[in-house]
Amino acid sequence: MYKYDQYDQAMVDARVEEFRDQVRRRLEGHLSEEAFRPLRLMNGLYLQLHAYMLRVAIPYGTLSGAQMRMLGHIADKYDRGYGHFTTRQNIQYNWIKLEEAPDILADLASVEMHAIQTSGNCIRNTTSDQYAGAAADELVDPRPYAELIRQWSTFHPEFSFLPRKFKMAVIASDTDRAAMRLHDIGIQIVRNAAGDLGAAFYVGGGMGRTPMIAPCINSFVPLDQFITYAEACLRVYNRHGRRDNKYKARIKILVHELGKDEYTRQVEAEFAHLLTQNIEPPTAELERIKAQFVDPPFETGLSDEIDRSDPDFALWVDNNTVAHKAPGYAVAVISLKPVGAIPGDASGDQIRVMADLAERYSFDELRVTHAQNIVLPHVRKADLYALWQVLDANGLATANLDQIGDIIACPGLDYCTLANARSIPIAQKISERMAAREQEIGELKLKISGCINACGHHHAGHIGILGVDRKGIENYQLLLGGSEGADCSLGTITGPGFDESGIVDAVERVTNRYLSERQQGERFLDTYRRIGMAPFKEAIYG
Amino acid sequence: MVDVQYRFRSDEPVADPAVTVDSFGEQTNAAAVRIEPGDDARDLLPFLDRLQLVEVNFPVFGDGRGYSAARILREAGYQGELRAVGDVLVDQIAYMRRCGFDAFAPDVPLEPADAEAAWNRYGDVYQPTVDGRSAIWAKRHG
C-alpha cells in the first residue's frame, strides 16, 4: 500500500488548517453561506436535507486496517454510528455538524486520509479495480498509476474550476470491474506487440441524464507520457467544454458534439505542445510508487482445499470469493447488502470488525468496491472458515455477491437534495421480495437511482430503476440490459413507469420471465441479449 | 477601472487601456489586451513581443477558462504582466499565481491577512507549472 512521505503528509495537514480557518470564518459570520459553499464543496462537505454530509476520499478504494478503524471511529464519534460506502469507492457520513468537520479532517489526516476534491467541479477521487494486486487476470497492478494521478490531480491549479466534475478510473485487466468506460477518462494499462506497457485512453463516458460509453481515443500512450496526455485531455475540455448549461457540461458532451476524431485531433495537438513543457513525473517517481505496491509475502505450498462441510459457509465461498493469483489464497468479498438493509451502510462496530479481520487475515488491506461492498483481497483459503464465522456473527456474511439482493442504490430522497424519489426503500423491498429465490436466479446486477443524475448507475444495471417525479408523485422507470463491464451497454426503458409497489412487482415479473426463458448456463443479461425486450414487456405489461 | 490590489513585478505598469482580443490584431500599437473566457489566448501568440499587459477576466469565479489562457501565454514565453480581474476570490489566488498571473485586480478587494495566508498555505506542490516552483516529484528525486 502507498505510504505518505513528508510531502504528502504536509499537504493534507495544510488542508486541515485551511478548512479549519474557513469554517471559523463561516461560524463567526465573516463568510456568507453563499461564499462558503464553494469552499466546503472543495472539502467534500455537502448541505443535505437534514444535516451536513461529509464525503471522505478512499483513493482507488484501498485501505489499511488502521484507516478502516478510523472510519469506524468517525462514524461513532461524529455521526450516528454509521458510514455509507459509495459507488465511487468512498465513504459518506450523513449526520455531520459543521463545527466538527475540521476535527474529522484532522482525524483523517492522522491516518493519511482526506476529503480533498470529493466534490466540486474538479478531478475527483480516482477509482480502480477492487481486486487490483490480487486478481488472477490482471496485467499489472493498476494502483500505482492511479496514485500518480491522485498526486497530479491534487490541487491542480489549472483544473480546479472545470465546466463540471471529472471522474477517472484506471484498470489493468480485460475484465472491467471498475465501469471504466463510463468515466470522463478511463485508462486501461495494456501491453503492445513490442512488449511495452502503455495506457489506453477512453474519454467521454458517463452516466447522468445523457449516458455515453467512452470511445478509445488513443490505444497506446507510453507510460512515461501518460500524465502529459491526461493534461492535454483536460486542457481541451477546460477550454472548450460547455459552460452555458450544467446538464451539457460534462466532457462526454464535448466529445460527442466535436466528434471523437476532432476531439482527439485537438488533444494530440495539445499533447505535442505539452511534451515540450516537461510536466511528466520521471520514471523514478512511478518506480518509487510501484515499490509500495509490491505483493505481500504470500506463503507458498498452501493447499487449495476448503472444508465445505458447513453448507452456509460453502454457499458463501461459492458466491463471495474470487480467484486469487497466488495458490492457496482467495479474494473474499463482504456484502454490505443483508436482506432488507440499506445498501452500502455499515455500523461503526462492523467497520471495526472488518478492520480487525483485514489485519488478521488479509495482510492489513481492504478495498471498497463500486458496488458498495468491502473486499479482503488476500485471504488464505485455510482461514476462510474462521473469517466467515466472525463475519456471520456480525451480520456481514450475506452470500449474495452480484445477485439480485446485491443492489447498488444512491441515497435518494431520504438524504439527497437533488433526488426526485426514494431509492433506499425500493432497494429494501426488492431485496426482501427476492431473497428466497436469489440463489436460483444467479448473477443479476440491479441498480437504483433516485434521480436522473444516475449516482446509482441505473443505466448500467442488468435491471435498472430510475426514480422520477411525476406531478409530485414518486414514479419509477424500469430499464433492462445495461452492463458496466467489458461488454459495456446501456439499459433500455421498458415502458411506462410504476409506483412503489408496482416497481417491485415488475422486477419480480421480469425475473420470472427470465427463469422460464433461460437456457443452460445463461445469466439474466445473456437471456435478455438473446431474446430481447419483447418477452419481458409482455410479462410486465401483459 | 478596478484597482490593482496586488502586483508581483517591479516594472512600470502599462497605462494603456486594454483592448479586446478581436481588435488587438488590427491595432498595431496596442500593448494591452483583455481576454474574456470565450477568447482563444493562442490568437495572441503572434504578438507577444509587443504585448505588455494581458488582463484575463473572470466574470464568475467558477469559470476556469482563464487558468488555461494564462498558462498558454506563459508556456509560449510571454513575459509581460498577466492580470486577473473580475470575480477573483481569496481561495483562487494561489491557483492563479501558479498558472502565471502576477497581478490581481479583484472586484471586491481581498482581506490582506487572508490573502497572505493563501499565498503561503502550501509549501510544496505536486505539479510543475509556469511559476518556477519545483514539483514534489522533482524534490523526491533531486
Closest CA–CA distance from residue B20 to any residue of chain A (Å): 18
Q: Are residues A135 and A209 in the same domain?
A: yes
Map grid coordinates 481515443 to a residue: A217
CA distance A30 to B109: 14
Q: One-letter amino acid identity for A137?
A: D
Decide if B137 and A155 are in contact by the 8 Å CB cutoff. Answer: no
Q: Are residues A144 and A265 in the same domain?
A: yes
For Cα atoms A260, A262, A263, give the angle at the middle one, nearest 5 degrees. 65
Residue A301 lies inside a defined structural domain of this protein:
no
- Single out the residue in A54, A83, A109 at which a domain terminates: A109
Report which of A470, A139, A157, A53 is spatially closest to residue B125, judged by C-alpha positions.
A157
Mean pLDDT of the B19-42 span: 91
Q: How many CB pairs under 8 A join A and B?
A: 95
How many CB atoms neighbour CB B76 within 10 A?
14
β-strand B19-20 against B32-35: which pairing, if any? parallel
Query: Does B7 contact A at CB distance below 8 Å?
Result: no
Closest CA–CA distance from residue A158 to any residue of chain B (Å): 5
Q: Are residues A367 and A509 in the same domain?
A: no
Q: Are residues A328 and A462 in the same domain?
A: no
Report which of A326, A338, A393 is spatially closest to residue A362, judged by C-alpha positions.
A326
Q: Are residues A162 and A284 in the same domain?
A: yes
Residue A184 lies inside a defined structural domain of this protein:
yes
CA distance A429 to A405: 10
Decide if B127 and A238 are in contact by the 8 Å CB cutoff. Answer: no
Decide if B64 and A282 are in contact by the 8 Å CB cutoff. Answer: no
Within 8 A by CB and 6+ apart from A401, the residues are: A319, A320, A333, A335, A373
Q: Are residues A131 and A100 in the same domain?
A: no
- Domain span holding position A251: 127-291
Query: Does B141 contact A at CB distance below 8 Å?
Result: yes
Within 8 A of B117 by CB-CB distance, chain A residues are 21
Within 8 A of A163 by CB-CB distance, chain B residues are 64
Within 8 A by CB and 6+ apart from A432, the residues are: A339, A340
How many CB atoms neighbour CB A67 within 10 A?
21
Closest CA–CA distance from residue A442 to any residue of chain B (Å): 46
Decide if A7 and B140 are in contact by the 8 Å CB cutoff. Answer: yes
Interface with A, mutate which of B61, B89, B125, B136 (most A CBs under 10 A): B136
Decide if B127 and A121 are in contact by the 8 Å CB cutoff. Answer: no
pLDDT, tens only, A260-312: 999 999 999 999 999 999 999 999 999 999 999 999 999 999 999 999 999 99
For Cα atoms A137, A139, A145, give the angle at the middle one, nearest 5 degrees. 125
Domain locations in chain B? 6-140
B6-140 carries CATH number 1.10.1760? no
Give the total number of structural domains in chain A: 4
- Single out the residue in A362, A393, A424 at which a domain terminates: A393
Residue A402 lies inside a defined structural domain of this protein:
no
Q: Are residues A425 and A525 in the same domain?
A: yes
- Single out the residue in A368, A393, A418 at which a domain terminates: A393
Residue A400 lies inside a defined structural domain of this protein:
no
Which of the four pLDDT bands, split at 50, 70 and 90, describes residue B17? confident
Q: Are residues A88 and A131 in the same domain?
A: no
**CATH number of the domain to which A274 belongs:** 3.30.413.10
CA distance A246 to A48: 20
What single DSSP character describes residue A336? S
- B28 pLDDT above the threshold of 90: no
How distant is the alpha carbon of residue A528 from its chain centre?
25
Report which of A219, A176, A220 is spatially closest to residue A198, judged by C-alpha positions.
A220
**CATH number of the domain to which A100 belongs:** 3.90.480.20
Residue A118 lies inside a defined structural domain of this protein:
no
- B1 pLDDT above the threshold of 70: no
pLDDT, tens only, B74-97: 999 999 999 999 999 998 999 999
How would you write the pLDDT of chain A (542 residues) with one tens digit per residue?
999 999 999 999 999 999 999 999 899 998 888 888 888 888 889 988 888 999 999 999 999 999 999 999 999 999 999 999 999 999 999 999 999 999 999 999 999 999 999 999 999 999 999 999 999 899 999 999 999 999 999 999 999 999 999 999 999 999 999 999 999 999 999 999 999 999 999 999 999 889 999 999 999 999 999 999 999 999 999 999 999 999 999 999 999 999 999 999 999 999 999 999 999 999 999 999 999 999 999 999 999 999 999 999 999 999 999 999 999 999 999 999 999 999 999 999 999 999 999 999 999 999 999 999 999 999 999 999 999 999 999 999 999 999 999 999 999 998 888 899 999 999 999 999 999 999 999 999 999 999 999 999 999 999 999 999 988 899 999 999 999 988 999 999 999 999 999 999 999 999 999 999 999 999 999 999 999 999 999 999 98
Closest CA–CA distance from residue B4 to any residue of chain A (Å): 22
User: Which of B68, B75, B140 has the CB atom closest to A277's CB atom?
Assistant: B75
Map grid coordinates 510543475 to a residue: B128
The side-by-side arrangement of strands in the sheet containing A345-347 is A45-47, A52-56, A91-96, A82-85, A345-347
Q: Chain A residue with minimal CA distance to B117?
A: A18
Q: What is the CA radius of gyration of chain B?
A: 15
Interface with A, mutate which of B98, B99, B127, B133 (most A CBs under 10 A): B127
Residue A232 has, within 13 A of its CA and on its CB side, a CA count of 26
Interface with B, mutate which of A4, A158, A267 (most B CBs under 10 A): A158
